[in-house]
Amino acid sequence: MTWYTRLWRYITLAHGAGGKETEEIVENLIVQRVPPNLWKVGEGSGLDSLDDAALIPLGDEGYVAVTVDSYTVKPIFFPGGDLGRLAASGTINDLLMVGAKPIAALDAVVVEEGFPLEDFNKIISSYIDTLKSNNVALIGGDFKTMPKGQLDGIIIASMGIGVAKKPIRDSDIKPGDKIIVSGYVGDHGAAIMAAQQGIGANTDIVSDVKPLTDLMIPLIERYADAIHGAGDPTRGGVAMLVNTWAKKTETVIVLDEESIPIRPQVREYAEMLGIDPLSLANEGMAVLAVDSDYADEVVKYMRKLGYDKASIIGQVYKPKDPRHAGRVLLKSVAGGIRILEPPSGELVPRIC
């Protein structure tokens, strides 16, 4: 009997939440079924690393970066954005997180019969406008409809293509690196959660969804050698991202709760519902692992670029005991230390 028939008989919402269950599906039902020699192209990266985008080597010209994601947020119009802006921003940000300059995108849109044409126009206009404002070409795509009742509204699959001269690979994260966030944690997840609960209009919680081109391109050009890892903490939030980094590099990551910027209203709302804010998604915030010699300088530069909440929130360590490799610890405001587990269960369905 296989692991999944022992534990699960059906796909659940938890499997798509970006936490431990998603990791199990990807690693056991997809990655392990592909021969290791087909995990990547040449000296690039792909299923071997599962970074935000795959890298295909171009010899002396660097790398082509490729990413693909499907977007199925509910509601499709939410405080701070909509499905179109979300899909374009997510595509652009995934390329940026591997050190690539985004150059083109393709989309595949599936719409339910009876979907309002006015809403469709707004969503597609938002998708195209976001690409256009970041000088990213839309070079192709696909459009299909499904009979009424066989799809919940609209889904956008978006593929991005970029070029990287010196890519950022999360596997390069090393002991001593400082963990930096570019802004507030958990804004998007809290905004979607409030909207799904029907109280979004009664709060001032707004999604942070936006492309990070204005942040990452200057950082890549100026600090390419100092940035050892980068990620946008979408499903599963910061908690899942840093746990993935610690596991991938066999290190221990320690976060300082007091240093993590979280809006008071986001913290209060998450705690009211019993959800760790660190498990909530962002769609316009970057997490970086930066050489300790440059960390303070990088934060100052990020603030100069307009990211005034950029902060050092933790550090990477070599485990004293090999059994502790892959662990993330959180120093609480009260002074205690606890293990920050990767999120599990149905956090916020249909979040991105």
6 inside domain:
no
d(CA 185, CA 30): 30
Same domain, 152 and 274: no
248 inside domain:
yes
289 inside domain:
yes
25 inside domain:
no
116, 120, 145, 352 from 149: Cα distances, Å? 14, 17, 11, 21
Same domain, 286 and 175: yes
Q: Which of 114-123, 183-192, 320-329, 340-349 shows the lowest per-residue confidence on average (mean pLDDT)?
A: 340-349
Same domain, 186 and 263: yes
Range of the domain at 135: 52-164
| CATH number for position 128 | 3.30.1330.10
| CATH number for position 229 | 3.90.650.10
Same domain, 187 and 334: yes
Query: 3-class SS at 94?
Result: helix
Q: Which of 117, 145, 164 is the last residue of a domain?
A: 164
Same domain, 318 and 226: yes
Higher pLDDT pick, 31 / 74: 74
Distant-in-sequence, close-in-space partners of 350: CB < 8 Å, separation ≥ 6? 72, 73, 74, 192, 196
> For position 111, what pLDDT does the model report?
98
267 inside domain:
yes
188 inside domain:
yes
Q: What's the whole-number mean pLDDT along residues 142-166? A: 97
* 53-66 residue pLDDT tens: 999 999 888 999 99
Same domain, 147 and 243: no
Specify which residues 255 forms β-bridges with: 314, 330
Same domain, 90 and 126: yes
Supply the DSSP symbol for 342. P
Q: Which of 48-57, 178-187, 215-224 shows the lowest per-residue confidence on average (mean pLDDT)?
A: 48-57
29 inside domain:
no
The domain total for the chain is: 2
Place of tokens 């939030």: 237
Same domain, 177 and 160: no
Same domain, 329 and 219: yes
> For position 9, what pLDDT does the model report?
77
Same domain, 157 and 185: no
Q: What's the whole-number mean pLDDT along residues 322-328? A: 95
pLDDT band of 11, cuts 50, 70, 90: confident
Same domain, 147 and 270: no
Upper half-sphere CA count for residue 257 (Cβ side, 13 Å) = 16
* 299-308 residue pLDDT tens: 999 999 999 9
Q: Which of 164, 181, 199 is the last residue of a domain?
A: 164
Are the C-beta atoms of residues 210 and 307 closer than 8 Å to each other?
Answer: no
Crossing angle for the helix pair 83-96 and 213-223, to the nearest 10 degrees: 0
> For position 1, what pLDDT does the model report?
45
Same domain, 75 and 198: no
The yes-or-no verdict on residue 334 having pLDDT over 90 is no
Q: Which of 164, 188, 207 is the last residue of a domain?
A: 164
d(CA 337, CA 340): 9
37, 70, 99, 148, 199 from 40: Cα distances, Å? 7, 21, 18, 39, 45
* 190-231 residue pLDDT tens: 999 999 887 755 568 999 999 999 999 999 999 999 999 999
Q: What's the whole-number mean pLDDT along residues 25-54? A: 90
**Average pLDDT of the chain, as a whole number:** 93
CA angle 166, 172, 178 (to 5 degrees): 105
Upper half-sphere CA count for residue 351 (Cβ side, 13 Å) = 31
345 inside domain:
no
